[in-house]
Amino acid sequence: MKKYYVVITFLIMVVLVSSACAKATPKPAADKLEEILARGTIIVSTDPAYPPQSELVENATRATNTKCAADQHTPSELSGFDIEVAVAIAEKLGVEACFVTPEWTMITGGSWANRWDISVGSMTITPERMEKLYFTQPYYTTPAALFIHKDNTTYTQYSDLEGKKIGACSGCTYDAYLAGTLNIPGETIVQVINNPQFVGYETDINAIQDLALGDGLRLDAVMTALPTGQGAINDGLPLRQLGDPVYFEYLAAAIDKSLTPDPIPLVKKVTEVIKQLHSEGVLLKLSEKYCGLDLTTAAGGFDVDALNQFP
């Protein structure tokens, strides 16, 4: 019986070790950028829950002749503004873009464990996220807007929503805004609604669905990105926008501070690449293609050095 335990312990160890050794590690690189260039792929995280930034492609076939690992996805399997920006960045770096699709909270939380290199996911630069992530030059801005049900006639300005039930994604910037704690580097925030009742959702779209059920039924309003709300209206949901955008967010690529080896040269390089894409007009074209308006020019003028990210 004793021998038996030894055998079992040994078997368990073999299973653990063999699953671990499946990925052969190449020669150690001096920094993350070097590692990416040597690998020939940049692994990008995106959550395809946010059309038109990132969505799944039906009837897509995986690119043949790809360096992407089996559990990564090739650009042909996804589409959207973020995806095209990621591919443009990869092209400038001279590598192939491969995508992984973890939940949004796993991306924003940092501690990526080197599973992916960069997030090109329309992430707003916030002080909280800056504790865990480095941000590159923003590639566009997004206006935050309030949407109400089409049937409603009593709300005409932001302040009418005082004390009302407002839905938004939990843990995102709209959540922070409604709680009065939002602080966006490079932007002055004016609080326009008193004591809103925040209702949290996994993503904005679920909040929009609930608002569409009826005016005041589950929600009185939804706070979300202007393009997202506009997209829902275009899909035929009975909503309308209340007033002008409330504030603008700067959206950038993000890189986990805890990546090994050193990610700082990668952050600097991607910032340089995004500045190029701004000046060449590539981003403006993409913005007009996906959002129908210019959301990029303000982002090009953002002073990323003012964030003081590097020690």
Partner 1 sequence: MTVETIIEKPPEKPDADQSMGDALLSHQKRNRLFQNVKIGSVWAALILILAVGLLQLRFDPGYIGEHYGFVMQGVLTTLGLSVASILIASVLALLGALGRLSQNSIAQGIAGFYVSLVRGTPLLIQIYIIYLGLPQIGTQLQSMGFTDLGKSLTLTAIQSGILALSLNYGAYMTEIFRAGIQSISHGQREAALSLGLSSWQTMRRIILPQAIKIIIPDIGNQFIAMQKDSALVSVMGVWEITYRANRFGRKDSKFMEMFILAAALYWILTIVSSWLEERLEKRMAHAYER
Length of the chain, in residues: 311
DSSP 27: S
Residue 192: count of CB within 10 angstroms of its CB: 16
- Map residues 256-275 to x or -, x wherever contact with partner 1 holds by CB under 8 A: --x-----------------
Nearest to partner 1 of 56, 284 (CB atom): 56
Q: What is the DSSP letter of 70?
A: T
In the range 228-247, which residues lie near partner 1 by CB under 8 A? 232, 235-237
Q: Which stretch binds partner 1 (CB under 8 A): 158-166, 201-209, 248-256, 269-277?
A: 201-209
Residue with tokens 């609930």: 210
Cβ-based neighbours of 113, under 8 Å, separated by 6 or more: none
- Distance CA(158)–CA(136), nearest Å, equals 33
100 touches partner 1 by CB under 8 A: yes
Least Å from the CB of residue 105 to partner 1: 9
Smallest distance, partner 1 to C-beta of residue 148, A: 17
Label the pairing between strands 55-56 and 78-79. Answer: antiparallel
Dihedral-angle region of residue 270 (phi above 0 means left; psi in -120 to 50 means alpha; beta otherwise): alpha
Nearest residue to 159 via CA among 190, 194, 195? 194
Q: Which is nearer to partner 1, 48 or 263 (CB)?
A: 48
Q: Which is nearer to partner 1, 120 or 193 (CB)?
A: 120
Q: How far is the CB of 5 from partner 1 (least distance, A)?
A: 7
Looking at 24, 26, 27, 58, which residue binds partner 1 (CB under 8 A)?
58
Whether residue 127 contacts residue 299, with contact meaning beta carbons closer than 8 Å, is answered with no
Contacts to partner 1 by CB under 8 A? 1, 4-5, 8, 16-17, 19-21, 25, 47-51, 55-56, 58-59, 71, 73, 100-103, 106, 109, 111, 113-115, 203, 205, 208-209, 232, 235-237, 258
